[in-house]
Amino acid sequence: MNYETIGPIAQALLAGVVVTVEVSIGALFIAVVWGGLLASLRFLYPSRMLDLAISTYVEIFRNIPTLTHLLIVYFGLAYFGVTLPSLAAAILALGLIGGAVMADVFRAGFQAVPIGQTEAALATGLPPLLTFRLVIFPQALRIILPPSGNYAVGLVKDTSLVAAISAPEIMFNARQIVNVSFQTGLVYGTAAMIYLALTFLLTALFYALERKAAY
């Protein structure tokens, strides 16, 4: 192994870190907003039809492999005249999958708040929406954060799959470097260290958020 090449290889891989971070942030934003909206609708407006529709969406996107969703969004939408760049397709596909995951996370958090809290707020004349925003959501947030952190770490690792649709993230760049340098172990080992650093920082961030929410 030629350790003198670690620097240039790491520099080349860092170019993919920017894309990995962009995909992770974009997908996480969609997942949190979309998942939170679905869970809120399900909690605030109980309906058999609405519950069935959301449950179907969650089951479809949670039980089909991530790579399949990526390929469907990137190649499948082209049949309907919608052509997305690889980066946009990656963010959309991972965001929709994440929305299904986060919908269940939010729903579990809302249901964990004691019903007495809601009844007490409503008894004082607080409207249902304000009760949800001021009473239920702040308490549910402490429950939602830990699994959200786990999802975010998994999302960063799942971005390695977007290389299949030519999004130039870490693993895509790693394969290009290996094809030229033939330093397979060194390149993929360095890529692994970069992923480890990213997930460590993300874990530390969510741990800090959890401590802040606890107070």
Q: Give pLDDT tens digits for 68-82.
A: 999 999 998 888 888
* Residue 1 in this model has a pLDDT that exceeds 60: no
The closest alpha carbon to 142, from 210, 63, 45, 67, belongs to: 210
| Terminal-residue alpha carbon distance, the chain | 50
Helix, strand, or coil here: 40? helix
Mean pLDDT over each residue of the chain, to the nearest integer: 87
The answer to whether 38 and 54 have CB atoms below 8 angstroms apart is yes
CA-atom Rg of the chain in angstroms: 21
- Tell me, yes or no, if the pTM score tops 0.75: yes
Under the banding of pLDDT at 50, 70 and 90, the label for residue 183 is confident
The token pair that represents 69 in the structure block:
């969703």
Under the banding of pLDDT at 50, 70 and 90, the label for residue 11 is confident
Higher-confidence residue of 214 and 175: namely 175
Provide the percentage of residues in the chain whose pLDDT is more than 90: 45
The closest alpha carbon to 90, from 191, 173, 20, belongs to: 20
State residue 162's pLDDT score: 92
| CATH superfamily to which 18-168 belongs | MetI-like (1.10.3720.10)
Domain boundaries, given as residue ranges, for the chain: 18-168
**pLDDT tens digits for range 81-129:** 888 899 999 999 999 999 999 999 999 999 888 888 878 887 887 887 8
